Structure 1
Amino acid sequence: MYFQGSLLDGGAGATVGPLDRGLQRRELAGGAWVDVRPGWVGGADGLFLRLQTELPWRAERREMYDSTVDVPRLLCSYGVRDPLPDPVLQVARDALDDHYGPDLGEPFVTAGLCLYRDGRDSVAWHGDRIGRGRSQDTMVAIVSLGAPRRLSLRPRPGGPADVPGERSIGFVVGHGDLLVMGGSCQRTWDHAVLKTTKPVGPRISVQFRPAGVL
């Protein structure tokens, strides 16, 4: 997996920027919203390389229709009591708790990481609705490291966000960008990282969630 760093990355140790400036919110239909903070993690390319080479990435297979298929990305997860694999991720989670905790009402406690090796790796349309996201407003915070990829969102068919004139949207994130989905986003909108035939480098997505949001 060839990784080309950003020319804007200073090459110094990774740092987490402030969230009281540079944060851009987009209100969506159905009570959902998305926050984006470009370049939130400075020196993110070094963090990407550490996670890419040092984490115990695993491949999974899942049942789909009448067959078992490879999950098109590598995975690594950290539960409620697990220490995070890099101190910068702990700093990032603490900063998210400080900024979003008063509205969220609880901390972010788990971290799921996905390694997209190239444009063939993807995640299909879905919402984090297995747990409490099915019935409650919540937040999922994503730190995107490595090559930029497009995170697409569309109203869930037949749901309260599926209104005339609403359409799919997307955010291209990478090299330390932060994206937070909040409000009703998990139950009224679906999101995906779709396959692409364009030449793209590897990307790591770090997803911070509260307890019981899957």
Structure 2
Amino acid sequence: MTAEIQGLLFADPDTATGVRFRRTPLSHGAWVDVAPGWAGDPDTVFARMVEGVDWRAERRVMYDRTVAVPRLTRYFRADETWPDPALRAWCAQLSAHYADELGEPFTTAGCCYYRDGRDSVAWHGDTFGRGASHDTMVAIVSLGDQRRLSLRPRGGGRSLSFAMGHGDLVVMGGSCQRTWEHAVLKTAQHVGPRISVQFRPAGVA
């Protein structure tokens, strides 16, 4: 069963945007912050990224065959040119907002392009790198049509669901990457394209 969860605690508003963050504590020291409408000018950024990013169609080996990854991707390192100046501004704002909790800045931008409801990302945690053994954060800015971020405890348990709309921010923190899994599941509903931008600290992937 999946339940849509309303935030339980209200964190301080973002000093740059004035948007209030809604925090939902999870088990094992994990938590999720949701800030609806956090990203400024999402229409312009979405349009620029659809046309301006050199999106890549990846293929991966699964069991005994090679399959297409069901979304387009592009990863931007800290030393690369990012596709829109808004991404650098968002990264700096998030680094400032979470400076006391995270203790380091966000430095990379991973981008995913979900073309329709058939595009998805399977259950996983960002456990390549320091996320496998240390508390960290992954901040996701959502652009385009609404999709849902589903989370479930590793080892089994009730799953949770958070709506991610145009310009919304979702941040997974604490032990979330190693004690919980998250996914954007396929949907039979008619949905248009969506871009997610994931900001991570160095060494977290």
TM-score after normalising by structure 2: 0.90
Name the structure 1 match of 2:48. Answer: 50
Report whether the alignment pairs 1:109 with 2:107.
yes
| Structure-to-structure mapping, 1:1-214, within 5 angstroms | 18=16, 21-157=19-155, 167-214=158-205
Q: Structure 1 residue runs of 4+, over 3 Å off?
A: 16-21
CA displacement 1:110-166 (0-9 Å, x = unmatched):
110000000000000000001110000000000000000000000011xxxx5xxx5
Cα RMSD, aligned residues only: 1.4
Deviation at 1:101, TM superposition (A): 1.5
Q: Give the 3-state SS of the residue equivalent to 1:73 in structure 2.
A: strand
Which is further off, 94-103 or 145-154?
94-103
Deviation at 1:36, TM superposition (A): 0.5
Identity of aligned residues (%): 62
Unaligned 5+ segments in structure 2 are: 1-13
Change (3 A) 1:44 1:17: farther
Amino acid at match of 1:188: T
Question: For the Cα contact (< 8 Å) 1:174–1:203, is it kept in 2?
Answer: no
Counterpart CA distance in 1 for 2:196 and 2:120 is 11
Counterpart CA distance in 1 for 2:84 and 2:15 is 17
Counterpart CA distance in 1 for 2:113 and 2:139 is 16
Counterpart CA distance in 1 for 2:18 and 2:99 is 14
Amino acid at match of 1:144: S
Unaligned 5+ segments in structure 1 are: 1-15
Counterpart CA distance in 1 for 2:193 and 2:100 is 34
Counterpart CA distance in 2 for 1:80 and 1:179 is 21
Change (3 A) 1:171 1:153: same
CA displacement 1:11-47 (0-9 Å, x = unmatched):
xxxxx98466411000001100000000001321221
Counterpart CA distance in 1 for 2:133 and 2:78 is 21
